[in-house]
Amino acid sequence: MKRRLLPLVVALGLLLGACGRNVQPQNVLDPRAPIARRLDSLWNPVFSIAVVIFVLVEFLVVFVAIRYRRRGDDDQPKQIHGSTKLEFGWTLAPALILAFVGFFTVLNVGKLDAIPKGNDVMRVNVTGHQWWWEFEYPKLGVTTANELHLPIGERVDVRLTSADVIHSFWPPKLAGKLDVIPGRVNHMEIDLRKNVQPGYYWGQCAEYCGLSHANMRLRIVVHSADGWARWQAGQTKAPNLDLAADSSAGSGKDLFRTKGCGGCHTINGYTAGKVGPNLTHFMSRKVFAGAIFPNNAEELKAWLRNPPKQKPMMPDNGMGMPNLNLAENEITDLISFLQTLK
């Protein structure tokens, strides 16, 4: 029996351990930053203990079913009513194992839950919205959406709160998840000081937050020092709003105001809406609409034709972007304008 089960378990372990980590951007068994590694640190030992117990129990189940199968009606087994010694044993043994696991768990919890403090800590304010993320960099005076940009070498205090319902901020490869609760501020530490590579990390909202919960995704860009400097420079400069009035982008700029876009979206120096994502440097983002669409003209066109069709939303109840019933040429102009927001 054992011989038949073992390879199965080993195969399962291999699958868990190895299967396509590189093509699975949210695989939690592949931590890429110190905090995620700490969360992961007890997985292997606990999983191994679990596998041993699993094998033992499954072996016993199969064993009793085969070895003690009834051979005939005259099978008259000995009537065993119990054994204090044995029962004491299998109460104590798991208790000891669990005490051991519990001890290390508590040690780990203690190391994790401190709020990062100090002058070297970078602060980012994250606000969850139905169904997108807002990121504010108080020191830089920059507000952006859906793509969180962070520099390598920093220790980041991500301060989480919500504008509406409960969300959960989850960048699996950098840190675990932490709930984003209206009326509360939660602190998540993302430590990028060492043992982490620059790159494009995935994540998503992990607490059910209504209709388009599945479409509330997240990208985190960890920049090298150069990349960070460039991004920072790009974000802090004012957008060029000096557009020729007769150009497509120029009429798009007017439409942005007349069609009401500016009532919800901020473009620094032009509109100041607070409901939707800040679009000041819209083209610097690779994705839009809760990080579900690549930011290109084609997707933007489909989006502007009817946003709630592209992504389920409830604009009639104040949740998400309404269909503005734009004409094709208006859409083209608006996109021309948006594409100037670099």
Partner 1 sequence: MATTLEPTTPVETPVAPASTPVLRRPTNTKGFWGWITTVDHKRIGVLYGVTAFTFFLFGGIEAMLIRLQLARPNGTFLSADLYNQLFTMHGTTMIFLVVMPISAAFFNYFAPIMIGARDVAFPRLNAFSYWTFLFGALLINSSFFLGGAPNGGWFGYAPNTSITFSPGHNIDFWVFGLQILGIASTVGAVNFIVTILNLRAPGMELFRMPVFVWMTLVASFLLLFAMPIITVALFLLMFDRNFGANFFNPGAGGDPVLWQHLFWLFGHPEVYILILPAMGIVSEILPVFARKPLFGYRVVVFSGIAIGFMGWGVWVHHMFAVGLGPWAVSAFSVATMFIAVPTGVKIFNWLATCWRGSMRLATPALFCLGFIAMFTIGGLSGVTHAVSPHDRQQTDTYYIVAHFHYVLFGGALFGIMAGIYYWWPKIFGYMLNEKLGKWHFWLWLIGFNVTFGPFHLLGLEGMPRRIYTYDKGLGLDFWNLVATIGVFIIAASILVFLYNVAHSYRFRTAAGPDPWDGRTLEWTIPSPVPAYNFAEQPEVHELDDFWHRKYGEDAEGRMVKLAPPVTEGSLNLHATDVHLPSPSYFPMVASFGLPVMAYGMIYHTYAVVAAGALILIGALYAWGLEPSTAPHVEHHEVAATEEPAAISAGEASAEQGATE
* Touching partner 1, residues 183-212 (CB under 8 A): 183-184, 186-187, 202, 204-212
Q: How far apart are CA 132 and CA 74, in angstroms?
A: 70
In the range 307-336, which residues lie near partner 1 by CB under 8 A?
Answer: 312, 317, 319
Residues whose CB falls within 8 Å of the CB of residue 301, separated by 6 or more in sequence, listed in order: 331, 332, 335
Shortest separation between residue 214's beta carbon and partner 1, angstroms = 4
Shortest separation between residue 68's beta carbon and partner 1, angstroms = 5
Q: How far apart are CA 213 and CA 290, in angstroms?
A: 10
Question: Judged by CB under 8 A, which of 1, 5, 9, 24 binds partner 1?
Answer: 24
Shortest separation between residue 15's beta carbon and partner 1, angstroms = 7
- Any contact of residue 287 with partner 1 (CB under 8 A)? no
Q: Which is nearer to partner 1, 72 or 118 (CB)?
A: 72
* DSSP structure class, residue 115: P
In the range 50-89, which residues lie near partner 1 by CB under 8 A?
Answer: 50, 53-54, 57-58, 60-61, 64-65, 68-71, 73, 75-83, 86-87
Question: Judged by CB under 8 A, which of 3, 4, 7, 23 binds partner 1?
Answer: 23
- Any contact of residue 134 with partner 1 (CB under 8 A)? no
CB 219 within 8 A of CB 291: yes
Shortest separation between residue 233's beta carbon and partner 1, angstroms = 30
Size of the site for partner 1 (CB under 8 A): 95
Q: Which residue has the tokens 């309404």?
A: 322
Q: Which long-range contacts link 7-14 to residues 24+ away (Cβ below 8 Å)?
A: 9/51, 9/54, 9/55, 13/47, 13/51
Q: Which residue has the tokens 């998400």?
A: 320
- Any contact of residue 177 with partner 1 (CB under 8 A)? yes
Q: How far apart are CA 178 and CA 127, in angstroms?
A: 13
In the range 219-278, which residues lie near partner 1 by CB under 8 A?
Answer: none
Q: How far apart are CA 310 and CA 303, in angstroms?
A: 6
Q: Which is nearer to partner 1, 176 or 307 (CB)?
A: 176
Shortest separation between residue 257's beta carbon and partner 1, angstroms = 29
Q: Which is nearer to partner 1, 10 or 50 (CB)?
A: 50
String of b and e for 140-160 (b: at least 16 CB within 10 Å)? eebbbbbbbbbbbbbbbbbbb
